[in-house]
Amino acid sequence: MFAERIVEFQGALASFQPDRVLGKGVPEALEGWIVNLLVAAGEAAAAASWPQIRAYDYREYGLNGNRSRFEELYFRRRLMLNDLVLAEWVEGQGRFLDAVIDGLLLISEESGWQLPAHNSYERGGKRLSMADPDDPVVDLFAAETAAILSTTLYLLRDRLDAVDPLVSKRVEREINVRIFKPYINRHFWWMGRGDERMNNWTAWITQNVLLAAFTLPTDETLRRAFLPKALMSLDAFLKDYAEDGACEEGVIYYRHAGLCLHGAMTILDQVAPSAMKPLWQEPKVRNMADYIRHMHVGGDYYFNFADSSAVVPPCGAREYLFGRAVGSEALMGFAAADFVRDENRLMPKEWNLWYRLQAILAASEIMSHERAAPAKADHYFPGIGLAIARDNRFALAVKGGHNGESHNHNDVGSVTLYKDRQPLLIDVGVETYTAKTFSPHRYEIWTMQSAYHNLPSFGGVMQCDGVEFAAQGMDVRFEEEMAEISLDIAGAYPAEAELQSYRRTVRMVRGRTVQMRDEYHGVGPATLSLMTVLEPRTDEGRIWLGNKAEIRLEGAGSITVEPLDITDSRLRQSWPVRLYRLLVPLTGSTLTLTIS
């Protein structure tokens, strides 16, 4: 789809202007509240000390697997630079320039821009303990750093050159050495290889490389060397999406996948204005845009699976602009409603300076746009086997598919349920990333295991990871009075589970109850896990989840309640200090739960 559009780039290639968010340049005057926020953030950054990054901080990932301590220092530098740049841009008095130069040079002098966790040349390859300045790795955040620095030069070049033109020259040199040369001369896995599955890396990095290449005053020859590689990468990324547009990596990665596709297309739209026009109307692209609103439950809660959290920051300018580009009024209204209620609508914690520009420049239009209530419709994503049903009280998701997806958790057949926009049966999510998270030991982590999803185990045997461990026979029916999702999850378990079949049928009787019926044909004992955020009480055949819901059971033995204390900072963004796992043994071949 993208590569075949190369013929549209035959004329002179235009430069990309990051401040032309809505098809026009910077407004003469930003609203006062925006200027005040940006200047205040710049003043705070100017008063702070730049983080010192030691060799040990980089090496620590290889020594003990901790990646968060280095990343906190690394990203704080970039956030400080963003704050300083935006303050100088809107104020224009020069009082932040010295601090901006300090930030630019500090980042330019880092040995490598790639994260320690990504410091390898092949997918899943050996991580080097230190960055090699003579052989840079282009990872997510090396490319993101190039985007930050090139946007900075675009906004402030004249003012920086008035102080010393060597600053811009040094920054451009580093981007050329660390990003442009390896991008042209090396094939990184995320660029796409035949049928190999890509993930968010492909769109995310391609967007930021394009941003740097077409924002800086690069020559026509270099720009033309970038185009075919970038277009082929976008095709490699898009090929792994079904027509329904679902992001298999979960809602948090929508912002690094679908929204980065939008970013790359936006850049290409300026480079050659006719090149992307028909692609905005492609059904798959529009479905990718709308995915996020279908996943919304209420407030900051979303249906989550894989490495996504249940609580996600509100949507904003990027979602609004994607909706605008594909003509989705529903997405624009949804994003506008979130933007207005979000205290952080100008994205103060965002690393990518261009995203912050988008929020600043689109703020007035978004806040005046008609706001839409969250969608309440049922929806089915057959590409990943995800069915969502709703009524006036319940919001239900059933995950089919397979256990070989990017950022996979072993969760085939798991159920997530909300009542009155509050969580009842939950997907816990993922802990803070460490070296173990993306290693052969990934499924030793409890949050990845099917026994910590709303799924059965058989004599302790859990689901396995891999494309071959999948649901079969998924059937979805949405009717006026009811919704029913049915699937057989036996294929998600290894042979030692000794399963012939395990048919799960989840039925929502609208306005009344949600019923889950599991029919089991196998040899060993079966025990169902239920994960909840509400403190449960149990009695013969009944479970009460706080004062929110009652579950009546048929075919269950004595229930065990296991408290789980939550200390991980990433999990605590979604959940309180304690979650609960209920272990429900099956006494026969059928277990029925009726939730009201």
Tokens encoding 286: 């529009």
User: In angstroms, rounded to a whole number, what is the distance separating the alpha carbons of residues 579 and 568?
Assistant: 12
User: In angstroms, rounded to a whole number, what is the distance separating the alpha carbons of residues 311 and 321?
Assistant: 22
371-421 pLDDT, tens digit per residue, is 877 667 999 999 999 999 999 999 999 999 999 999 999 999 999 999 999
Is-contact 543 559, C-beta < 8 A? yes
Q: What is the largest CA-CA distance in the chain?
A: 80
User: In angstroms, rounded to a whole number, what is the distance separating the alpha carbons of residues 200 and 253?
Assistant: 7
Q: What is the pLDDT of residue 374?
A: 63
Total residues found in the chain within this entry: 596
Q: What is the pLDDT of residue 28?
A: 64
Q: Looking at residues 323-339, what average pLDDT do you find? A: 96
Which residue type, as a one-letter code, is found at position 190? W
Q: How many CB atoms lie within 10 A of CB 162?
A: 11
pLDDT for 199 beyond 70: yes
Q: Looking at residues 522-543, what average pLDDT do you find? A: 95
pLDDT band at 447 (very low <50, low <70, confident <90, very high): very high
At residue 13, the 3 state secondary structure works out as: coil
Tokens encoding 303: 């249906």
Q: Looking at residues 12-17, what average pLDDT do you find? A: 94
Helices first, then strands: H and E counts in the chain: 16, 21
Tokens encoding 322: 């994607």
Residues 520-525: contacts with CB under 8 Å, at least 24 apart: 520/456, 520/586, 520/589, 520/590, 520/591, 521/589, 522/458, 522/490, 522/497, 522/498, 523/498, 524/458, 524/459, 524/461, 524/497, 524/498, 525/458, 525/459, 525/585, 525/586
171-185 pLDDT, tens digit per residue, is 999 999 999 999 999
Tokens encoding 530: 């239920």
Where would I find the H helices in 112-165?
Answer: 140-163
Please tell me the pTM assigned to this model.
0.96
Tokens encoding 48: 């702070």
User: In angstroms, rounded to a whole number, what is the distance separating the alpha carbons of residues 387 and 396?
Assistant: 8
The percentage of the chain sitting over the pLDDT mark of 90, rounded to a whole number, equals 95
User: In angstroms, rounded to a whole number, what is the distance separating the alpha carbons of residues 549 and 74?
Assistant: 45
Q: What is the pLDDT of residue 21?
A: 80
pLDDT band at 157 (very low <50, low <70, confident <90, very high): very high
Is-contact 211 353, C-beta < 8 A? no
Nearest to 319 by CA among 237, 257, 403: 257
Q: How far is CA 312 from CA 71, 236, 252, 298, 525, in A?
A: 20, 27, 7, 11, 37
Residue with tokens 């990596």: 249
With left for phi above 0 and alpha for psi between -120 and 50, is residue 473 left, alpha or beta? left
pLDDT for 156 beyond 70: yes
**What mean pLDDT, rounded, does the chain reach?**
96
74-112 pLDDT, tens digit per residue, is 999 999 999 999 999 999 999 999 999 999 999 999 999
pLDDT band at 503 (very low <50, low <70, confident <90, very high): very high
Residue 386, strand partner residues: 381, 399
Q: What is the pLDDT of residue 30?
A: 85
pLDDT for 592 beyond 70: yes
Q: What is the pLDDT of residue 249?
A: 95
The percentage of the chain sitting over the pLDDT mark of 70, rounded to a whole number, equals 99
Torsion angle (degrees, nearest 10) of CA 169, 175, 178, 182: -120
Residue with tokens 């699976």: 305
Gap between the terminal Cα atoms of the chain: 48
Q: What is the pLDDT of residue 524?
A: 85
User: In angstroms, rounded to a whole number, what is the distance separating the alpha carbons of residues 354 and 395?
Assistant: 35
Q: What is the pLDDT of residue 344?
A: 96
Residue with tokens 């994607």: 322
Q: Which residues of 6-20 are buried (b: 16+ CB within 10 A; e: fewer)?
A: eebbeeebeebebbe
Q: Looking at residues 214-222, what average pLDDT do you find? A: 96
User: In angstroms, rounded to a whole number, what is the distance separating the alpha carbons of residues 248 and 250?
Assistant: 5
pLDDT band at 311 (very low <50, low <70, confident <90, very high): very high
Q: What is the pLDDT of residue 144?
A: 98
pLDDT band at 29 (very low <50, low <70, confident <90, very high): confident
pLDDT for 27 beyond 70: no
> Kind and range of the H or E element at 381?
strand 379-381
pLDDT band at 26 (very low <50, low <70, confident <90, very high): low
